[in-house]
Amino acid sequence: MLILHTCSPTLPFTQISRHLITNRFSPFSTVTLSVRNHARPSGTSLFVSKAKKSETEVDIDDEEDTETRSRKKVGGRAQQKDYDKDPEFAEILGSVLDDPQKAQSKMEDRLKKKRNKILHTKTGSGAPMKVTFNKFDFSNSYIWFELYNAPLEKDVSLICDAMRAWHIIGRLGGCNSMNMQLSQSPMDKRPNYDAIGGANVTPTTFLNIGDLEIQENLARVWVDIGTTEPLLLDVLINALTQLSSDFVGIKQLVFGGSEFENWKENLTSEVEGCSVHKI
């Protein structure tokens, strides 16, 4: 048997005589084997070769470890996104088949309590805002609002800002129908303003305004305008009409009256959908 060692030196020719070959090679007189040199170049140590191989393996292992860590990191983030269980909601769902009306009532109560945390898109209403008067007294009356939906925080802010601006303009005498010089004069020529005549007009002053009170989709504001000035009401109606169309849907605006639909007096609990906001 001929054993060729890969680390052996180069053998240019190896001749094996006939008498060393078994009968299996009998047709040949001489068998000549040429072994190419696959040995490492001189001066190259076996340890260096192993070291290079080890470095390559380490690089591959590092890449695999990095990829594995990345996958674990991504998987970890996905695992961390695990929402807490809600026993209250589970109880509501569990009672849907047994008592649907009770489940609906519980869901409505839940929405009332957590309505500020629920985000949903709300825009103005295309339907015109209805305006009615119910024994309105300029010195002591409520202005009632009926909205299409329970207002969100941003809706309340818009209504408060509109009422606050209305009060400031009225308090400064900006809405005085007795001094309408420019609106009643033709604009085809340069306008003229009579300062003396404007100063001698009886002033109108908005005396006082209360807080904005809200119960579900109803709201009210107490006002004491002081003087009978319809222009003040026109200015407010115009502003709220635009507000209802663009931002907050106002179904109805009522001037006057001590009662309005389902409004409950002395109800201040926020859990029941009540809140008070400073104008």
Question: What is the spatial distance between Cα 257 and Cα 206, in angstroms, rounded to a whole number?
Answer: 20
- What number of H helices and E strands is found in the chain? 6, 9
Question: What is the spatial distance between Cα 79 and Cα 169, in angstroms, rounded to a whole number?
Answer: 57
Predicted pLDDT of residue 141: 96
**Phi, psi values for residue 274, rounded to 5°:** -105, 145
Determine the residue type at 219: A
- pTM, two decimals, is 0.56
pLDDT tens, per residue, the chain with 279 residues: 445 444 444 444 444 444 444 444 444 444 444 444 444 444 444 444 444 444 444 444 455 555 555 444 444 444 444 435 677 777 777 777 788 888 888 888 877 777 666 655 546 888 999 999 999 999 999 999 999 999 999 999 999 999 999 999 999 999 999 999 998 888 788 889 999 999 999 988 899 999 999 999 999 999 999 889 999 999 999 999 999 999 999 999 999 998 898 898 877 777 677 899 999
Cβ(128)–Cβ(106) below 8 Å? no
| Residue that is written with structure tokens 């084997």 in the block | 33
Q: What is the DSSP string of 87-102?
A: HHHHHHHHTTTT-HHH
Could you tell me where the DSSP H helices lie in 95-204? Answer: 100-113, 153-171, 195-199
Predicted pLDDT of residue 186: 83
Question: What is the spatial distance between Cα 112 and Cα 149, in angstroms, rounded to a whole number?
Answer: 12
Find the distance separating the first CA and the last CA of the chain, reported in whole Å: 109
Structure tokens at 181: 């010089």
Predicted pLDDT of residue 34: 47
